[in-house]
Amino acid sequence: MKLVFLTDHKFIRDKNDILYTTGQITREYLSRYIPYFSKIIVLGRESELTVENKNKCVEPVNLFSERIIFKLVKCKESKRDMINSYCELIKLSKKEIFNCDFIIFKMPNISSIFAVKYVQRYKKPYLIELVGCPWDALWNHSLKGKIIAPYMYFKTKKLVKDAKYVVYVTNEFLQKRYPTEGKYVNCSDVVLKEFDDNVLMNRLNKINTMKNNNKIVLGTIAAVDVRYKGQQYVIRALGKLKKQGITNYEYQLVGGGDQTYLKSVAEKYNVTEQVKFLGTIPHDKVFEWLDTIDIYVQPSSTEGLPRALIEAMSRGLPAFGSNVGGIPELLDSKFIFSKGRKKVDEICNILQSFDQDTMREQARRNYEEAKKYDSEIIEERRRKFFEKFIEENKKYKS
């Protein structure tokens, strides 16, 4: 059986013809489809490796399985080239959908909204994986994003409603905003493979040895050149606390991208010495870094279900975050701040609420919550849903 997997994801190709992922679509992500399909055609976009985008590369993805074939359209950063790349991707999807047995649309993405007509024309079975909210993503992106947001919101809502099979990455948020009349399941993109209670014990010991005047290290994993990731609000909060004479916080930012804007915010609020840019860290080293910090922050203006937050919770980290997407599904409600104008004040209040007792309580609570994302539990749920999707549409098998 042949699967077409359609995404707007942009891969980066180097001079040796190696493709690197820049985000969620990793080797681990793609591997989940291999047991069900003899050939997997990944349709997406690509750009060439440059000095500017080199630090966005996560891992090579086109070398680990001969059954996964990448068919990508070239994309540059200019507005005209981006529009052309979407048009080419839609055109490519027409041919590939005609020749395949099953289709998975990873949404939200523009290409799927237009390509769904080919699925309907050729009467091919398809499944939607909804991993985020287009309204939140676009509305918080830019002025142009605000113009496009209503269109993407209503188109995605209609497409999900009519789909016969939908996989949501959240437990509640996306289901409420983009309900479907078809069959659905909640399966997070985040799967954790092993838990060791010694991790929690080490975290509690770290908290127990803290003193009142100790430096408290905050951390966030996110691209540093995307403003809707929200790191600027944490930096502003540090500035406000500094005016009150509170300077024992250090904010470490892990992630690639141009640091200019966030550095300017740190300079404006006079906390440059408290903000540390660590750049990209290989994923196998992320847990080591998480074990060195004291509190994890997810300050995004838009999210699906954030992998980094769940991974932080699995290390017994106290955490807080914004009231968007699936974040409130993960954290204690006392450690959620709003999207409104008072968010900086709320961040300050939350930071000041973390005494040792609270940190111990949240460390235990978050560690237990993260266990819900054990890979065996989630993958079993996903496996049953995929098998149902295939079994109910076996007449399309080649």
Q: What CATH number is associated with residue 324?
A: 3.40.50.2000
For residues 240 and 194, the model is more confident at 240
Residues 112 and 208 in one domain: no
Residue 39 DSSP one-character state: E
Residues 109 and 175 in one domain: yes
Residue 59 pLDDT exceeds 60: yes
Residues 70 and 108 in one domain: yes
Residues 211 and 303 in one domain: yes
Residues 116 and 98 in one domain: yes
Residues 170 and 224 in one domain: no
Which residue segment(s) compose the domain that 227 sits in? 197-372
- Tens digit of each residue's pLDDT (9 = 90 or more) over 368-398: 999 888 888 888 999 999 999 999 997 655 4
Residues 187 and 201 in one domain: no
Q: Pairing relation of β-strands 126-130 and 68-74?
A: unpaired
Residues 208 and 319 in one domain: yes
Q: Torsion-angle region of residue 300: left (phi > 0), alpha (psi -120 to 50) or beta?
A: beta
- Tens digit of each residue's pLDDT (9 = 90 or more) over 188-223: 877 787 788 999 999 999 999 998 778 999 999 998
| Cβ atoms 221, 317 nearer than 8 A | no
Residues 177 and 86 in one domain: yes
Report the candidate in 285, 115, 287, 78 with the shortest Cα–Cα distance to residue 202.
Answer: 287
Domain count, the chain: 2
Residues 160 and 22 in one domain: yes
Residues 208 and 227 in one domain: yes
Residues 297 and 390 in one domain: no
Q: Given pLDDT bands bounded at 50, 70 and 90, which one contains residue 22?
A: confident
